[in-house]
Amino acid sequence: MISMKKSEMRALILKKMKKHSINITLKKSDKIRQKLLNSEEYKKANSIFTYVSKPKEVDTHSIIEDAIKNGKKVYGPILHNKQIFAGEIKNFDYLVKGDFGILQPVVISNKNKFDIIIVPGFVFDLGGARIGRGGGYFDKFLSHTKGKKIALAFDFQITSKIDTEDHDIFMDKVITEKRTVSRYT
């Protein structure tokens, strides 16, 4: 994937994601979820910000349920006026379809510091760089939000190097079904 434009990399990964059956997606997602739940960051976390997954993405619904069940405060993205804000998720009844058909909380919170932030993306590299959906919404949100940034991805979403720009925000850790890539090890 070296020397491809971001849009080309997104298209390639999207094609691979579409080939994934629901069973494969859920099976790999379960391995990724177990790794996250067993991580020290998750175990110590009291507040979690996470994306709410769409089909074909690494499933976060069971992570959200586990966190709520274990008394953690869970927040998710609310897209409003091309900006992401945090909103608390107390259960799935608190979610409505927002822009792009993505489930999101209803009430905006002023919280901008979390123990961990689970970040979506299409492509990640071994240094923690990320390519998202292309709107720059998460990079803007992450630039003024504090917390350990953890991405969940399928192993085919990892490449050796992504060309980055000044505004790109790096992940501290990327967890796949096969490996964990840490920016600091």
Domains delineated in the chain: 6-182 (3.40.50.10420)
Burial 65-78 (b: 16+ CB within 10 A, else e): ebbbeeebbbbbbb
Cα distance between residue 89 and residue 105, in whole Å: 6
pLDDT of residue 184: 60
Cα distance between residue 183 and residue 89, in whole Å: 29
pLDDT of residue 185: 47
Token readout for 69 is 């069940």
Identity at 56, one-letter amino acid code = K
pTM of the predicted structure, to 2 decimals: 0.91
Distance of CA 142 to the CA centre of its chain: 12
pLDDT of residue 166: 83
pLDDT of residue 80: 86
Pure H helices in the chain: 6-19, 22-37, 40-44, 61-69, 137-143
Length of the chain: 185
Identity at 167, one-letter amino acid code = H
Cα distance between residue 108 and residue 90, in whole Å: 13
Cα distance between residue 24 and residue 41, in whole Å: 26
Residues of the chain scoring pLDDT < 50 = 1-2, 185
